[in-house]
Structure 1
Amino acid sequence: MLSIESTELLTGACISGDYWDFDELINAIYEVIGDENRYYDYQGARHRVLGVCFDLRHAAKGEKNIELVTNGIHRGILKSHDLIVPEKNVYFSVEILWPELLFTTLALNDFITLHNEMIDDSLWNIHISVIRKFQSSVADCLKNHLAEEHYTVFSQLMQNKSPKYFRYATQYVDLLNLEYINLSIEERKENLAAFAIRLLIEDESYLALKEEILATASITKNEIHELPLTMKYPEEIEW
């Protein structure tokens, strides 16, 4: 089972599990977000979600973090069943920045809504169930770091009608990531709720950025999500 815990410096959250946990989530996300031509006006959000899937896939290949986790086997079981098996399982993990992880979690709501409307509205859709469990784990981890009133506001905004990210300027997620990285741990504790809420409302900074991107896109003839920010991520992130 995937587990999600905040990193030591509250820079992001660490997603951990075995190979099959990662594989199940990745396949569920691919199934629900569809191919690149299915929901054209959500290409920015789709690419962003796929970016997180890319990190998850690399984690499942053992290219990120590896740890050994007890699996419940003990000497009594080994003796009673006359077995020789490992007492620990291999778990993989990867860190994702909080703004990035929250955007992915929220954007998946849009794709679930679209999938229900266009593909399959069954209550028993296994792929949606897998994604919902992942979203719940993220929300539960976030809840541990927010004041009750702040989490209540976030929850209420999150439950507003989807889709929320129609033709969204996903460069804003980069902006939030970079702002968040530059905070101290004390500032992260104080402002994590604000960053979460900023992903749910189109505040002045978002609107200004989108206006600037649209102006550039009208000249270059690019799609809105194709224009990168000039700001650079640090080569190393302290988690």
Structure 2
Amino acid sequence: MEDYPEELRTPPISVVSVVGCPELHQTISSFLHAEQPPINTLALPDFSKISVLSRKQKDPLSSSHSAAGILKRDWLSKHRTRVPAAVAALFRVDCVTGDPAQWLQVCTDLENLKAVLHGRGIKLIVILVQTYANEDVNEDLKITLRKRAEIDAKYLMMLVQDDTPELKQSLTRWDMKLTHLPAFFNFLLDDNFLSILCRLSSTLAELCNTYYREEGRKIRIRIEKRSFSSVELNIRYCFKARA
């Protein structure tokens, strides 16, 4: 079994993408990966990189040829590492409450992200990052932001960044090794920050479950509507519907 790649030796793992505020990516990614079940993270430092989330255009010359066997070589790996079920868009509070140019940039980033995700069923959550606990966003602005993102109220979250020197030093020293992570977090992170990470994790897990359930339903409908030219193709669709 050790000769097989990880995706064939371990259970399926959800993957989410985190965009913006790159200084928080290591903390969020490591926390999510330490959860049970774990969640993989595709971290993008800023919104200029969201094109990697775009649906790949199929080569028209090869579209008529089915892949040999049951699954394409990297199908399992792709859905564990490169095709997110949900995207968490992180914005600094001062960018939302700042001057009109900053607000316009936030709106532009959201519109571009929605365009990339359009028609793919990928879920969206927006996180406003506060440097200090006393930073706040008035309710009218939150409503406007939710409408821009087209999300429900529970998918707009506030996160107060823990910026203590002890946390930064320990993140570097431990390199966020998963074997140390649970005790490490309980020791270093204050209850508020930890509770926010737990809430974020549970919300992303909920969105992932919804995404994969909807994708499975789409594939089952596809199975019912078409006839298959080969046993392998039939098995492929059935496998994807249950994966």
TM-score normalised over the length of structure 2: 0.26
Compute the TM-score of the two structures, normalised by the length of structure 1. 0.26
